[in-house]
A and B are shown apart, each in its own frame.
Chain A
């Protein structure tokens, strides 16, 4: 699956200190339920690690390039809590914010953008009806539409899953990613459900396969166990951004650690002292 000419097709003239070039983004991700972070968080200097806004501030201070909130609230009635979280985060952190979870329509996207999100990720609704991506892009611009794609290995390829990775759709992930970008998704948030939570590293072959067919930015997700995995996702997988949760939340690595590893591997990054 690895192409013989390596990653040069997507990141020309790799150099960690090269300035005039788009930087690889390091994105901490927070799972939020009923307005509170759920995955265990172990920030020593944080009074309330369950407060997504406090965590967002901490990552802002660390020099995170972007933040992603995934709302895993089960009931639709309680989703208002997410709007409040987004509003309070946008009031405190002047950095890009992506929000996903439970987004079903262009109007859902507008509500999140109005609250202060810059991009909105859509998953199940767009898998069931991909044309919704076109409607969303028409309404808010494709730059704000993120296709959150949950995939698992299936045979020689990968299949698309919905409902947090529980339900198989039988769709081919590579073909679906291509279609999603054509319809208006401005970014693919690509999560390997096989790797999610394993800390075995991102699925590089998956990244490569999607990279080869999709020209919108790709965010690697699922499997980050150390900062070298992030470098691999970018250098070998061709990812434009790396997303991780627990490795950051438990203080195993800081955003700056991740960026140093990326820079050492030759990826262009925005070091915090550059900010």
Chain B
């Protein structure tokens, strides 16, 4: 039985993430118990960890920092115990060194890089709508267990105005093109992060979540 902890720190659609993970586990017959928690001990005990997050980087970072011991527990689980970790949307952005929205905010520092506003342009140089909202295709997919079994040109659901720029190309697991390419997924050792929402990406999302649940980095 896999014990999965979803970090519940006042941001993010934890319920949707939980239900989508449970459905994926059910469909692929993966024994799973999910806990929504901000308790450092439960985070340390978890076999796998998911960090969701929507809204502002600074608010999410503040929410995480306000939970006593959570950041330390995450660092311990991820680095010492090497637990598989999945960050979703702002949860993925928090894996970076720094977020630059209205103010500069420190992230968890697991993926060297910064989170900055996207400024997509069309071929004629005109601004495209922001947020980048809707279904778009993953490109430049790295061969990675969490991305296994996706159909060609997989469509996933995005809704964001900021994106992570990774300093190291080998941390980029997938990109997406919206008036210029941006990082759609990051991967490093036992860490994985998606800018898109697998919990809202119908079949492609279910495949990714099931892959994460079975992933043995």
Residues in A lying within 8 Å of B, measured CB to CB = 8-13, 19-25, 60, 65-66, 87, 90-91, 94-96, 113-116, 118-119, 138-144, 186-187, 215-218, 240-241, 270, 274-275
Contacts and interface: CB of A to CB of B under 8 A. Distances in A.
Contact of B13 (A25, A116, A142, A270): A116
Contacts of B48: none
Contacts of A143: 54-55, 131, 133, 159-161
8 cross-chain pairs, A with B, having the tightest CB-CB distances, nearest first = A141-B55, A12-B122, A20-B177, A12-B123, A19-B153, A143-B131, A270-B135, A23-B135
Contacts of A140: 54-55
A235 to B, nearest CB: 15
B190 interface: no
B132 A22 contact: yes
Nearest to B178: A22
Contacts of B154: 274
Question: How would you classify the secondary structure of chain A's contact residues: helix, strand, loop or mixed?
Answer: loop
A22 B135 contact: yes
Contacts, number: 134
Nearest to B22: A91
B206 A23 contact: no
B15 A114 contact: yes
Interface string B124-146: 10111111111111010000000
A218 B202 CA distance: 23
Contacts of B54: 113, 140-141, 143-144
Interface in B161-182: 161, 176-178
A66 B154 CA distance: 17
B192 to A, nearest CB: 18
Interface in B188-210: 197, 199-206
Contacts of A21: 136-137, 177-178
Contacts of B206: 94
A224 to B, nearest CB: 19
A94 B196 CA distance: 13
A261 to B, nearest CB: 17
B161 A142 contact: yes
Contact of B137 (A19, A24, A215, A240): A19
B68 interface: no
